[in-house]
């Protein structure tokens, strides 16, 4: 077997023991590596029986066969565990430079069990691993920690992953950081490390791992490099970062504004988008290991209240979650907020989501100044945003509640209808009302609302297809074919997170399964074809789904908040400024109405009678002079606009369950699992 | 006259953010872009995304989509991020 070492390091911090565990070769063949292999290990060791913040929850830091190979985009590793935020399978993918160093120490990953009494860090080299005291680092932010550790081990080329104060304080969405700007962001993996009092892992290695077919792999690598050289997607990412998406995204209604309430904010991209950053505060680009795309932004804000030293700037998710979602128009404050999240070690998406929820809850009177310690929350308040980020990281006052995430907060304070999450994971910055595929993606992604677990975003944007799998792409605003598209997208997504490769690089090169099969075949020696790789993708998805079920997730959890399935209550994306629907909705203070039954009934009536007849209503209204909808935007698409922003979610989800063979409890069927060689998983689920 | 706005790497290649167009339909806008900026924008126009007043012309009449005086035409090279 090439590409992998065939073993992982197992560290028990309660017992202070270290051992090597050999992983059977067929596990690599059937689950690739990365989060696939982690899921297999987690299942085999009944990881779901441990509570997320307990010594029994295994923290798995895993490479894949591509890690450390110089294959373009192979810079990533996966951090996995049972998530303290959602309670189900958690995984987070991280770029940067740590992955190759870990690979070169001679291990495919590290599995951390138990919990230390005092803060420690792991130092992994060619010689093995030491558990070292980290008391002097506890309390330091991630930037300082990384600098200090490199000095301490006496090697600037050593790479560090670490947590900040947020992880130490068990903030449920604390992340793990490397190289200041690379993050295993989601699901609270930083809190798992914090619970174990594992401040950091330092890796420095020099070993060379075998490659099954050197010439074949070299050819595969060169093919990928060539594809990226001529990719316009790669060019856009290089020029403007992932925030290249902001302008186009806003134009199609994909960028959430004001806690997903507002349809369109014309000034948003000018203030916060990647083009503006490139023309103002950008100092240089930066790349992850072995990546020619170099999408990372380095910025500097030299003066003013949001001054920051040269360092990583906002990616798209941060520009939106800590920008448009807060209806905040200060670019400087946005990048400062992003820097704080990096330093404290917190996921920008969840952080932005819980702050936007809290702001709306304050507006609706569900949160009061007595709850917020006198802080008046409101939209477009940069200083309040920065203060809330700090309070969350240190669990001060209202920050202690917010650190639990939007699901827990809304269960306590109310306003569940505007707590935008799936399975407890706050939704990323892509609106299902613009790209219906994201509705299914959010509902059925293994870790909760996630935009990286599959390729649906790129497919719905028209940039990728699934022709290799014989699946037709479905239109962004059509339910037909969306379920089959999502299943195909998920196969690719799990392969990316198990092989492990950056989805930007892979997608920018065309996202070819044939190319990936060729690369993995020559690297590992396993006889992968497109069909076999697709089967591996399915196998990994199903084992992760089953783990979610074993952790307690049911079919009821595959739901989206109604707000992101129906037309926006505020603002318009067309000339609907005089249309009945938005006026009606803005007149009804739904947030202030506590009578759940009234809200349910009203929403039901709107859905049943108003939305399906909106085109007739608007067409009739349009004939009346006072309601004439001549505006800047096209008139003819208005009824179509309403139709488009009403996602046919139930229909798509039912079809998805049928294709995936999911039962009424949300579990994959026994027969489907056994077909994929997962009989043990079927037995665990079905008895 | 319709306002044509350029984005991302297309804007960078053109060296201009926006201009007022004489075109009557989307196809004419694309020809106009080639004439106005020459070869340096050519590759960005292949597979480009065109919105008219925020509406993808793929849902209208593609290159034949007619333009009115106050329309805003946004042209994006193939891009993805997010």
As a CATH number, domain A437-559+653-686 is 1.10.599.10
**Is A574's CB within 8 Å of B56's CB?**
no
Domain of residue B71: give its range: 3-76
Q: Supply the pLDDT for residue A473.
A: 79
Q: How far is it, in rounded angstroms, from Cα A275 to Cα A408?
A: 37
Instruction: Give the residue carrying structure tokens 């569900």.
Output: A366
pLDDT at A143 > cutoff 80: yes
Which residue do the tokens 């958690």 mark? A90
Q: CB–CB of A75/A291 below 8 Å? A: yes
Number of structural domains (chain B) is 1
In this structure, is residue B81 part of a structural domain? no
Please give the CATH architecture assigned to the domain spanning A7-204: 4-Layer Sandwich (3.60)
Chain A, nearest residue to B79 by Cα: A233
Token representation of residue A148: 């200090």
What pLDDT was estimated at residue A602? 61
User: Is 80 exceeded by the pLDDT of residue A590?
Assistant: no
Residue A535 CA to residue A5 CA, distance in Å, equals 23
Q: What is the mean pLDDT of residues A270-281?
A: 93
Answer whether B82 touches A (CB < 8 Å).
yes
Chain B residues touching residue A630 (CB < 8 angstroms): none
Q: Is B1 on the interface with A (CB under 8 A)?
A: no
List CB contacts of A134: < 8 A, sequence separation 6 or more.
Answer: A119, A120, A121, A197, A199, A200
**Rg for chain A, CA atoms, rounded:** 24
Q: Which two tokens stand for residue A131?
A: 């558990």
Pairwise CB contact (< 8 Å): B11 & A275: yes
Are A252 and B76 a contacting pair at CB < 8 A?
no
- pLDDT band (50, 70, 90) for residue A582: very low
How would residue A60 be classed by pLDDT, with cut points 50, 70 and 90? very high
The mean pLDDT of chain A is 90
pLDDT surpassing 80 at residue A313: yes
Instruction: Answer whether residue B82 is part of any domain.
Output: no
Please give the DSSP secondary-structure letter assigned to residue A174: B
pLDDT category, A229, cuts 50, 70, 90?
Answer: confident
Question: CB of B37 within 8 A of CB of B14?
Answer: yes
Task: Provide the pLDDT for residue A604.
Answer: 60
Hey, are the CB atoms on A245 and B49 less than 8 Å from each other? no
H-run or E-run covering A410: helix A406-413
Taking contacts as CB-CB distances below 8 angstroms, the residues of chain A near B52 are 634
Give the closest residue to A442 by CA, choosing from A472, A410, A482. A482
Q: Is the pLDDT of residue A420 over 60?
A: yes
Q: Confidence class of residue A588 from pLDDT cuts 50, 70 and 90?
A: very low
Residue B33 within a domain: yes
pLDDT digits (tens, 9 = 90+) for A99-124: 999 999 999 999 999 999 999 999 99
Same fold flag, A232-426 and A437-559+653-686: no
* CATH number of residue B7's parent domain: 3.10.20.30
Pairing verdict, β A109-113 and A59-62: antiparallel
Are A240 and B81 within 8 A, CB to CB?
A: yes
For A558, the token pair is 């595959």
Residues of A in contact with B72 (CB under 8 A): 632
More confident site: A643 or A58: A58
The most confident of the ranges A239-253, A353-367, B51-65 is A353-367
Predicted pLDDT of residue A612: 52
List C-alpha distances in Å: A133 to A16, A196, A663: 12, 13, 49
Write down the pTM of the prediction: 0.90
Q: Tell whether the torsion through CA atoms of A180, A186, A188 and A192 is positive or negative.
A: negative
Q: What is the pLDDT of residue A648?
A: 92
Give chain B's radius of gyration (CA, Å): 12
Residue A48 burial class via C-beta count within 10 angstroms: exposed 0-12, middle 13-18, buried 19 and up: buried
Domain A232-426 architecture: Orthogonal Bundle (1.10)
* Host H or E run for residue A12: strand A7-12
Q: Does B36 contact chain A (CB < 8 Å)?
A: no
Please enumerate in sequence order all residues whose Cβ is within 8 A of that of A46, keeping only pairs 6 or more positions apart, or say none. Answer: none
User: If pLDDT is split at 50, 70 and 90, which confidence band does A155 have?
Assistant: very high
For residue A240, list chain B residues with Cβ-Cβ distance below 8 A: 8-9, 81
From CA A565, how far away is CA A438, in angstroms rounded?
A: 10
| pLDDT, average across residues A132-137 | 98
pLDDT band, residue A598 (cuts 50/70/90): low
Question: If you search the block for the tokens 């399906």, which residue do you land on?
Answer: A612
pLDDT in tens, A376-405: 999 999 999 999 999 999 999 999 999 999
Residue contact B9–A236, C-beta within 8 A: yes
Where is A657: in which H helix or E strand?
A: helix A649-660
Is B23 inside a domain boundary?
yes
Q: Give the pLDDT confidence score for residue B28 in this predicted structure.
A: 95
> Who among A243, A458, A634 is closest to B53 (CB)?
A634
pLDDT band at A578 (very low <50, low <70, confident <90, very high): very low
Binned at pLDDT 50, 70 and 90, residue A579 comes out as very low
Instruction: Please count the residues of chain A.
Output: 687
Residue B62 contacts A, CB cutoff 8 Å: no
Average pLDDT over residues A421-427: 98
Q: If DSSP codes are grouped into helix, strand and coil, which group holds residue B4?
A: strand
Closest to A371 (Cα-Cα) out of A388, A348, A356: A388
What the block records as the tokens of A404 is: 């639990």
- Count how many Cα atoms sit within 13 Å of the Cα of residue A59 in the half-sphere of its side chain: 29
- Report, as an integer, the average pLDDT of A658-677: 97
> What distance in Å separates the CA atoms of residue B73 and residue B64, rounded to the nearest whole number?
13
Q: How many CB atoms lie within 10 A of CB A217?
A: 24
What pLDDT, on a 0 to 100 scale, did the predictor assign at position A608? Answer: 63
Closest Cα to residue A278, out of A249, A321, A307, A235? A235
Is the model's pLDDT at A674 over the cut of 90? yes
Candidates A235, A268, A318: best to mutate against B (most CBs of B within 10 A) is A235
How many CA atoms does the CB half-sphere of B26 hold within 13 Å?
22
Cβ neighbours for A416, distance < 8 A, ≥ 6 positions apart = A410, A561
Phi, psi angles (nearest 5°) of residue A360:
-70, -35
Which of these, A28, A22, A101, A7, lies nearest to A524 by C-alpha position?
A28
User: Which of A336-340, A344-348, A454-458 has the least mean pLDDT?
Assistant: A454-458
Calpha distance A613→B52 (Å, rounded): 26
Higher pLDDT, A455 or B47: A455
Of A247, A461, A632, the CB nearest to B7: A247
Domain spans of chain A? 7-204, 232-426, 437-559+653-686, 567-646
Q: How far apart are CA A345 and CA A680, in angstroms?
A: 37
Asked if the structure places residue B30 within a domain, the reply is yes
Would you say A345 and A176 are in contact if contact means Cβ atoms under 8 Å apart? yes
């Amino acid at each position: 077997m090439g590409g992998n070492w065939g073993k992982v390091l197992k560290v028990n911090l309660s017992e202070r023991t270290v051992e090597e565990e050999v992983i059977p070769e067929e596990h690599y063949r059937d689950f690739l590596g990365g989060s696939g292999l982690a899921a297999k290990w987690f299942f085999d060791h009944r990881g779901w029986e441990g509570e997320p913040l307990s010594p029994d929850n295994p923290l798995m830091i895993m490479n894949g066969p591509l890690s450390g190979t110089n294959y373009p985009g192979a810079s990533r590793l996966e951090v996995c565990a049972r998530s303290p935020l959602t309670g189900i399978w958690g995984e987070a993918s991280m770029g940067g430079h740590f992955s190759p160093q870990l690979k070169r120490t001679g291990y495919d990953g590290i599995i951390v069990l138990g919990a230390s009494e005092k803060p420690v860090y792991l130092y992994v080299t060619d010689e093995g691993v030491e558990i070292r005291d980290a008391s002097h680092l506890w309390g330091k932010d991630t930037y300082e920690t990384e600098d200090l550790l490199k000095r301490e081990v006496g090697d600037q080329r050593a790479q560090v992953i670490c947590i900040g104060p947020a992880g130490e304080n068990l903030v449920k969405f604390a992340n793990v950081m490397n190289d200041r700007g690379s993050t295993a962001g989601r699901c609270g993996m930083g809190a798992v490390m914090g619970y174990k009092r594992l401040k950091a892992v330092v890796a420095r290695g020099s070993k060379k791992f075998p490659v099954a077919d050197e010439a074949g792999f070299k050819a595969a690598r060169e093919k990928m490099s060539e594809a990226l050289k001529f990719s316009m997607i790669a060019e856009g990412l290089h020029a403007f970062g992932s925030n290249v998406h902001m302008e186009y995204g806003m134009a199609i209604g994909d960028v959430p504004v004001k806690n997903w309430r507002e349809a369109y904010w014309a000034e948003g991209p000018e203030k916060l988008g990647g083009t503006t950053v490139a023309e103002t505060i950008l100092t240089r680009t930066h790349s992850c290991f072995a990546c020619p795309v170099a999408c990372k932004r380095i910025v500097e804000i030299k003066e003013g209240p949001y001054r920051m030293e040269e360092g990583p700037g906002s990616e798209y998710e941060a520009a939106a979650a800590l920008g448009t979602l807060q209806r905040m128009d200060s670019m400087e404050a946005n990048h400062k907020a992003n820097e704080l999240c990096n330093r404290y070690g917190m996921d920008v998406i969840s952080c932005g989501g819980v702050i936007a929820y809290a702001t709306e809850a304050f507006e609706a009177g569900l949160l009061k100044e007595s709850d917020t310690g006198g802080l008046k929350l409101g939209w477009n308040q940069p200083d309040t945003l920065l203060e809330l980020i700090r309070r969350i990281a240190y669990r001060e006052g209202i920050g202690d509640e917010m650190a639990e995430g939007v699901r827990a907060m809304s269960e306590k304070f109310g306003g569940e209808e505007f707590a935008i999450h799936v399975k407890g994971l706050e939704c990323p910055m892509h609106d299902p009302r613009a790209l219906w595929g994201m509705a299914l993606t959010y509902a059925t992604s293994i870790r909760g609302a996630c935009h990286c677990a599959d390729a649906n975003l790129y497919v719905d944007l028209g940039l990728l297809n699934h022709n290799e799998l014989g699946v037709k792409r479905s239109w962004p605003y059509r339910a037909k074919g969306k379920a089959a598209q999502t299943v195909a997208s998920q196969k690719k997504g799990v392969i990316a997170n198990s092989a492990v490769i950056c989805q930007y690089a892979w997608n920018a090169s065309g996202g070819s399964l044939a190319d990936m099969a060729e690369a993995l075949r020559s690297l590992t020696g396993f006889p992968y074809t497109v069909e076999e790789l697709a089967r591996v993708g399915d196998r990994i998805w199903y084992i992760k789904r089953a783990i979610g079920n074993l952790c307690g997730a049911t079919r009821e959890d595959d739901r989206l908040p109604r707000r992101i399935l129906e037309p926006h209550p505020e603002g318009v994306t067309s000339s609907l400024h005089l249309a009945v629907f938005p006026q009606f909705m803005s007149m009804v203070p739904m947030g202030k109405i506590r009578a759940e039954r009234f809200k349910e009934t009203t929403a039901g009536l709107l859905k049943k009678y108003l939305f399906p007849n909106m085109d007739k209503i608007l067409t009739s209204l349009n004939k009346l002079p006072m309601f004439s909808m001549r505006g800047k935007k096209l008139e003819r698409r208005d009824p179509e606009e309403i139709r488009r922003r009403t996602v046919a979610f139930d229909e798509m989800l039912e079809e998805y369950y049928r294709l995936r063979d999911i039962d009424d409890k949300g579990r994959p069927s026994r027969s489907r699992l056994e077909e994929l060689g997962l009989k043990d998983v079927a037995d665990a689920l079905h008895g | 006259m319709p306002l044509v706005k350029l984005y991302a790497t297309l804007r960078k290649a053109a060296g201009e953010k926006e201009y007022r167009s004489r075109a009557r339909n989307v196809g004419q806008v694309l020809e106009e872009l080639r004439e106005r900026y020459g070869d340096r924008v050519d590759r960005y126009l292949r597979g480009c995304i065109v919105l008219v007043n925020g509406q993808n012309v793929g849902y209208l009449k593609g290159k034949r989509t007619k333009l009115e005086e106050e329309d805003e035409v946004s042209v994006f090279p193939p891009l993805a991020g997010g």
